[in-house]
Amino acid sequence: MLKITDDEFIEVIGTRAERAKALKPCPIGSEGACCRTCYVGPCRFVGKNAEEEVRGVCASTLGVVASRQFLTMCASGSAIHAARARESIDKLLEAAENERRIYDKAKLNAVADLIGVGSAKKTKTKLAKQIADEYLSWFYKYPSTVLNQLPSKRLNIWKECDLLPRGIDREIAESTYNASVGVNYDVEDIMMQAARVSIANGWFSSAIVADIEDITENSTTLYDSKLSGIAENYWNKMVGGYGKAPSLNILGELIFSGDIRGIACLIDCDHPRYEESSSQRFISLELIKNDILVVTGGCNNTLENAGLLSPDTVMQVAGRKLKKVYENTGIPPVISLGGCISHSRILNVLSALVKENAIDNVDDINGLPCVILAPHWFSGTAISIGCFYAVSGVETIFGGKSLTHASKEVTQILESTWKQKFGASFRFVDNAIDMVEAVLDHMDAVRKNSGLVSYYP
Ligand code: SF4
């Protein structure tokens, strides 16, 4: 048997940065203009008027093939987080056999209340098993209890658009079906399926992982059952690492008054073509300087490596108002969530801010000055996260070129149709400086529309 070391292996295949340099992306495929859904093709949609004039052998338009690719990316991201959710449920079942591994009983009770399995007088083992069973059922049915955490206005939008997911696995299967040859040629409908499968990711699979993590990991319990539930618990866990978190009502007041100009959620991807992750660092610094709270989660540690998770360091660069917020309340200018699957936590917090009337005048998530950013995105998980934020009402700004750039029809759906339907668009902005400007413009416009105090004195 030939035995080779890691170093020898790298010598043969190179590092990923070297491979990324040697292998340029296909210019047709990278903008969604090549379809290889079936083996009659691949069909390429090239030429000046490709959208109007070119058809695939199956009669697909450029919009159809680009939207199929968008849907496939969302489904793959959703499938990855669904697999994580299954692993987490196994972990909960194992912990149920040994009660000492259930560290956070208060969180166990809160989850049991939320998902409707009750908690009175049950042992930790029994409760953990019932929660695990209920979670498993989410893979094939719609768990109404979870979506009750949404503001009623948002829930009604989703009902009107027929977006309530029919279970995690069901939506992943429906996505593969809708992205197949000969099934669906309605571009807007294909994009709605992308929204549905992404909601199942953000509000079901990712929530399962977050809650089981809290129940089974040995971290400080900051949960106070008198507070407003799971969202307050998430908020405490996010900020509590830096000290006791102020209530969600205080967060709401700080946003209303403009002491926190807005919240930017960062998907911190580890992209092999951008080894330095320079955009993530640059954009975050600019946002903090402009009094925007940055919440980061992803497979990279850009902000940690830049020293920005240390409140003392970040205080040297933060804007005047954010510094004061930290001194008075303990909320640091940069908060780390861990992996990108934890983005559901901040989404839940945003939802609760609205549902609990923490901010005067704001009755839906799109009325909050918030954005989700992914400067160096590359995976289906990032696209799916962007998608569930956008349909939840959070303006979504990704870096570089869109995966569906070639199709004006799909671009229009993401930028305009979704803005009208969901109050938030999913757009791609070419460079870091323009991304910062887009964030500032968006926050100021939302503050004005929602009747919040102007950020400017
Ligand atoms: S699905 Fe249609 S457009 Fe795509 S490769 Fe097959 S024939 Fe071509």
Any idea what the CATH number is for the domain that residue 390 is in? 3.40.50.2030
Kindly state whether residues 133 and 245 are assigned to the same domain.
Answer: no
* Cα 62 to averaged position of ligand 1 atoms, centre (Å): 10
In this predicted structure, the answer to whether residue 5 has a pLDDT above a threshold of 70 is: no
Task: Please report whether residue 109 resides in a domain.
Answer: yes
Kindly state whether residues 270 and 137 are assigned to the same domain.
Answer: no
**DSSP calls for 272-325:** TT-TT-HHHHHHHHHHHHTTEEEEEESS--HHHHTTTTSHHHHTTTS-HHHHHH
**Are residues 322 and 293 in contact, defined by beta-carbon separation less than 8 angstroms?**
yes
Task: Please report whether residue 376 resides in a domain.
Answer: yes
In this predicted structure, the answer to whether residue 46 has a pLDDT above a threshold of 90 is: yes
Mean pLDDT confidence for 364-388: 94
Mean pLDDT confidence for 150-169: 95
**Are residues 219 and 338 in contact, defined by beta-carbon separation less than 8 angstroms?**
no
Mean pLDDT confidence for 360-385: 93
Task: Please report whether residue 293 resides in a domain.
Answer: yes
Give the global pTM.
Answer: 0.92
Using CA atoms, how far residue 102 sits from 108, 214, 216, 348, 393, in Å, is: 8, 9, 5, 23, 35
Task: Please report whether residue 144 resides in a domain.
Answer: yes
In this predicted structure, the answer to whether residue 82 has a pLDDT above a threshold of 90 is: yes
* Cα 79 to averaged position of ligand 1 atoms, centre (Å): 24
**Are residues 82 and 139 in contact, defined by beta-carbon separation less than 8 angstroms?**
yes
Kindly state whether residues 198 and 240 are assigned to the same domain.
Answer: no
pLDDT value at position 158? Answer: 96
Q: Is 37 in the pocket of ligand 1 (CB under 6 A)?
A: yes
Q: Is 41 in the pocket of ligand 1 (CB under 6 A)?
A: yes
Cis link prior to 42 (omega < 30° from 0)? yes
Q: Is 263 in the pocket of ligand 1 (CB under 6 A)?
A: no
Pocket test for ligand 1, best of 39, 45, 57 (most atoms within 8 A of CB): 57
Pocket test for ligand 1, best of 39, 40, 61, 180 (most atoms within 8 A of CB): 40
Question: Measured from the CA of 181, which atom of ligand 1 is nearest?
Answer: 1
Mean pLDDT confidence for 228-237: 75
For atom 2 of ligand 1, the residue with the nearest CA is 58
Is residue 224 very low, low, confident or very high in pLDDT (cuts 50, 70, 90)? Answer: very low
Question: Measured from the CA of 41, which atom of ligand 1 is nearest?
Answer: 5
* Cα 178 to averaged position of ligand 1 atoms, centre (Å): 14
Mean pLDDT confidence for 102-129: 84
Three-state SS annotation for 370-433 = EEEEECCCCCHHHHHHHHHHHHHCCEEEEECCCCCCCCHHHHHHHHHHHHHHHCCCEEEECCHH
Structural domain ending residue among the three candidates 188, 216, 244: 216
Is residue 225 very low, low, confident or very high in pLDDT (cuts 50, 70, 90)? Answer: very low
Mean pLDDT confidence for 104-123: 82
Structural domain ending residue among the three candidates 182, 216, 250: 216
pLDDT value at position 3? Answer: 64
Kindly state whether residues 205 and 169 are assigned to the same domain.
Answer: yes
**Residue 32 per-residue DSSP state:** T
Q: Is 35 in the pocket of ligand 1 (CB under 6 A)?
A: yes
Dist CA 293 CA 278 (whole Å): 19
Q: 268-309: per-residue pLDDT in tens?
A: 777 777 766 688 888 999 999 999 999 988 777 777 777 778
Residue 182 is part of which domain span?
62-216
Q: Is 60 in the pocket of ligand 1 (CB under 6 A)?
A: yes
Question: Measured from the CA of 59, which atom of ligand 1 is nearest?
Answer: 2
Kindly state whether residues 188 and 78 are assigned to the same domain.
Answer: yes
Rama region for 209: left / alpha / beta (φ>0; ψ in -120 to 50; rest): alpha
Pocket test for ligand 1, best of 44, 45, 61, 65 (most atoms within 8 A of CB): 65
Using CA atoms, how far residue 88 sits from 101, 132, 333, 370, in Å, is: 13, 9, 30, 29
Dist CA 183 CA 236 (whole Å): 46
pLDDT value at position 14? Answer: 80
Strands 262-267 and 292-297: parallel
How many structural domains compose the chain?
2
Strands 34-35 and 43-44: antiparallel
* Cα 41 to averaged position of ligand 1 atoms, centre (Å): 5
Domain CATH for 137:
1.20.1270.30
* Interior angle at CA 417, CA 416 and CA 418, nearest 5: 95
* 199 contacts: CB under 8 Å, gap ≥ 6: 158, 163, 164, 165, 388, 391, 392
Kindly state whether residues 340 and 428 are assigned to the same domain.
Answer: yes
Dist CA 179 CA 64 (whole Å): 9
Paired with 263 in beta bridges are: 293, 370
Dist CA 268 CA 291 (whole Å): 20
Dist CA 426 CA 419 (whole Å): 8
Kindly state whether residues 265 and 207 are assigned to the same domain.
Answer: no
Kindly state whether residues 296 and 193 are assigned to the same domain.
Answer: no
Q: Is 338 in the pocket of ligand 1 (CB under 6 A)?
A: no
* Cα 59 to averaged position of ligand 1 atoms, centre (Å): 8
Kindly state whether residues 194 and 279 are assigned to the same domain.
Answer: no
Pocket test for ligand 1, best of 28, 34, 35 (most atoms within 8 A of CB): 35
* Cα 426 to averaged position of ligand 1 atoms, centre (Å): 26
Task: Please report whether residue 290 resides in a domain.
Answer: yes
Is residue 147 very low, low, confident or very high in pLDDT (cuts 50, 70, 90)? Answer: confident
Task: Please report whether residue 221 resides in a domain.
Answer: no
Kindly state whether residues 177 and 202 are assigned to the same domain.
Answer: yes
Task: Please report whether residue 401 resides in a domain.
Answer: yes
Pocket test for ligand 1, best of 28, 34, 37, 61 (most atoms within 8 A of CB): 37
Structural domain ending residue among the three candidates 187, 216, 245: 216
Kindly state whether residues 296 and 393 are assigned to the same domain.
Answer: yes
Could you tell me what percent of the chain has a pLDDT over 90? Answer: 58
Task: Please report whether residue 454 resides in a domain.
Answer: no
Kindly state whether residues 313 and 199 are assigned to the same domain.
Answer: no
Range scoring the smallest mean pLDDT among 211-225, 246-260, 434-448 = 211-225
Q: Is 55 in the pocket of ligand 1 (CB under 6 A)?
A: no
For atom 3 of ligand 1, the residue with the nearest CA is 56
Which two three-digit tokens encode residue 326?
């930290």
